Amino acid sequence: MAKRPQPRRITLGGREAVALTLEEYEQLIASRRQIGGQSARVRVLAHEAKRTEQLLHDLESLIGPPHESCAHEPDTTCLRCAVAALLRRHRTPSP
């Protein structure tokens, strides 16, 4: 791993500051843009995850509890039961 460059400290008007070369300044600005872009993507992904979580919750509410006729059969061909099982499987956290 490359060594982190040490800043060149200067004093301007009695205040401590850091001096950068033009190349270092441009690299700093480019890094800030990259981080800003990544932050925006993370916000979008977080929003999509919340919407997906709400969709799953709404689907669970819509499906409701198992029917009496197929509650005892784990591998049923009932679409409602298959969707409910799929939702339960994805709600359970993976180890």
* Chain segment 55-82, per-residue pLDDT in tens: 888 888 888 776 666 655 555 567 777 7
**Residue 40 neighbours by CB distance under 10 Å:** 10
Strands (E), the chain: 8-12, 15-19
Distance CA 45, CA 88 (A): 23
CA gyration radius, the chain: 27
* 3-state SS, residue 11: strand
CB of 18 within 8 A of CB of 9? yes
CB of 63 within 8 A of CB of 84? yes
Report which residue type is found at 79: L
Q: Is the dihedral of CA 45, 31, 17, 3 positive or negative?
A: positive
Q: Where are the domains of the chain?
A: 18-58, 64-95
- Residue 25 — pLDDT band, cuts 50, 70, 90? very high
The model's pTM = 0.57
pLDDT score at 50:
94
